[in-house]
Amino acid sequence: MALKFGLFAINHGACGDPETAVRVARHAEAAGFESLWSGEHLVLPDPAPDGFPLAPTLPMLDTVVGLTLVAAHTSTVRIASGIIVLPLRNPVVLAKELASLDQVAGGRLIVGIGPGYVPAEFDAVGVALSERSARTDDYIRAMRALWSMPEPAYKGRFVSFSEMNAYPRPVRESGPPIVVGAGGRLAARRAVTLANGWYGFGFDVERTRQHLRNLRTAAEEYERPPELGPLEITVTPVGPLNQRVLEQYRELGVDRLVLLPQLDAAHGDRHTPVPVDRILRNIDHVARHYAGSGD
């Protein structure tokens, strides 16, 4: 099995500048990258708490805006949210935005979502952090109803609707694939029962192995709807990247590696944007030395 390669941070850091985002997106597409992934924080705590990896002044384009930009300037590479903090969004509005984005992208969208973790964001939006898991599950179901039901109707704890409709729909009748971010047992249950894939951000090989055990346990405990298909595994790796490490991820069953712009960056050291020339060189390095790994 060949590993697929994605590039992270297509909407922030150096790519917080729209012209740079387009330049990097086109370069990655030409180099054969499979996908381009955004990050998301609606707001950042200022001052940054001790250990928080992102500076409050980091430029970060809105996920939907940033992905629409690069979708309009590419034609084959997939575009993905990695991840949207779902509890902070209105799912009816977001479903409309993502369906429109998928149309612009010609069906290339991957919807990565997660429950979030930054208290300042939840406080700013007025959502209780304690509700994040329940809202995430509720909102996934609501968006799928809007995308796939001929006459959308849904009744949940936080969102309900009926006798309405919304077009255009996503390109696929079932809607774009949903990838669940975050670790832990709740995320594993969510991935198995509600999502097409799972995304682990900033995981080395051993941590990936541990979370895949959680996913296997969840698959034994919960029934997976057959329409979701096989669970696709995506990881943003940290630490040294070489053929041996890539083989370890492949042997674990990882389908896709979404690489940080600075290949040798330690997880958490992302205060300073990586210069665009270095990003382009790293894209070329991966394409030259690692593309097709596992064939």
Task: Name the DSSP letter for residue 109.
Answer: E
CATH topology of domain 4-289: TIM Barrel (3.20.20)
Cβ contacts of 93 within 8 Å, gap of 6 or more: none
What pLDDT does residue 271 have?
54
- Does residue 1 carry a pLDDT above 70? no
Percentage of the chain lying above the pLDDT 90 cut:
90
Residue of 147, 66, 59 lying closest to 104 (CA atoms): 66
- The Cα angle at residue 291 between residues 285 and 295, in degrees rounded to 5: 150
- Does residue 294 carry a pLDDT above 70? no
Burial class of 178 by CB neighbour count within 10 A (0 to 12, 13 to 18, 19+): buried
Average pLDDT over residues 69-81: 98
Residue 128's identity, in one-letter code, is A
